[in-house]
Amino acid sequence: MTAASRSITRAVLSREQAEGVGARVRRSIGRPELRNHDPFLMLDEFNVDKNGGFPDHPHRGFETVTYMLEGQFQHEDFAGHKGTIGPGDLQWMTAGRGIVHSEMPVKSQTRAHGLQLWINLPKEHKMCEPQYQELLDKEVKRARPEEGVEIKVIAGQSHGVSSQVYTRTPTMYLDIKMDKNKTVVQTIPASFTGFIYTLKGTIFVGDNAFKGEAHHTLTFSEDGAETVKITTKEESAHFVLIAGEPLREPIVQHGPFVMNSKEEIYDTFMDYQTNTNGFERAKNWSSTIA
């Protein structure tokens, strides 16, 4: 007897909107209908032309995960960290107590296309030191449970394959490609909340085969089931499955700052404006790539 699969509680279409400079994004988590999906704050599918990007901006209190699908992105921060990620590469940035950075497309590219996920940090880690973890596509481990199914294990585990990424908030992040007429059953910890964001094709999720089409966010039931069943029929599909341990802490967000109280947000603005308490290196700094 097979275990019951998680079901889908809602499906929300992500429509394109303008963001940053010369960027178009499809916002998944973070839309009004999906304001927060604890522990996740935002997921954007971004398309940026070579003259656009996300020039110098600060963060505090959470992590950003940038995962490239096409093109190349450069990044640079006030601590001297600088690099370029291309198709299949990822950058897992812990902003912690403070970072100011720039994310810009490589000018020789026609466009940069990818996903950026924001993961909340628990109260005890919000003021940790900033950290980067970067993995090239060739360094990301794959699970292949059967022919025609490939799972890139960006974070967490899948079919005996474990990611090397360290997650302060327990997180599963899988990039899954399936040929047509395939089925995969993915294990998920019973306590995790989660969702699927569909990039291409149509999938059918759960024992009732809920239909999920491209650019939709499909949120999982929170019923303690430890698997989710995903099937393709007449076409192949590409999607990400993201799940994590909910923090169940107050969330107060103001733009790029996410803390637990209004007072902490006020303190963050003061720290940023006065270049103190984590933002010392922001004084007189500007990136060379913006």
Per residue, the 3-state secondary structure of 203-230, as one string, reads EEECCCCEEECCCEEEEECCCCCCEEEE
Residue 95, both tokens: 């902003």
Pairwise CA distance, residues 175 & 58, whole Å: 28
The answer to the question of whether 113 is labelled as a binding residue is no
3-state SS class at 53: strand
The answer to the question of whether 103 is labelled as a binding residue is yes
Pairwise CA distance, residues 227 & 6, whole Å: 6
Pairwise CA distance, residues 97 & 268, whole Å: 9
Strands ordered across the beta sheet of 183-187: 183-187, 227-231, 203-205, 210-212
| Strand 257-259 with 252-254, pairing | antiparallel
Pairwise CA distance, residues 41 & 39, whole Å: 7
CB 283 within 8 A of CB 275: yes
The answer to the question of whether 226 is labelled as a binding residue is no
- Name the residue among 139, 129, 119 with its Cα closest to residue 66: 119
Query: What's the Cα-to-Cα distance from 264 to each of 45, 47, 101, 121, 261, rounded to whole Å?
Result: 29, 33, 21, 14, 5
Please name every residue paired with 258 in a beta bridge, in sequence order, or none if there are none. 253
CB 75 within 8 A of CB 103: yes
The answer to the question of whether 57 is labelled as a binding residue is yes
Residues forming the annotated binding site?
57, 59, 101, 103
Residues forming the annotated binding site for Fe cation?
57, 59, 101, 103
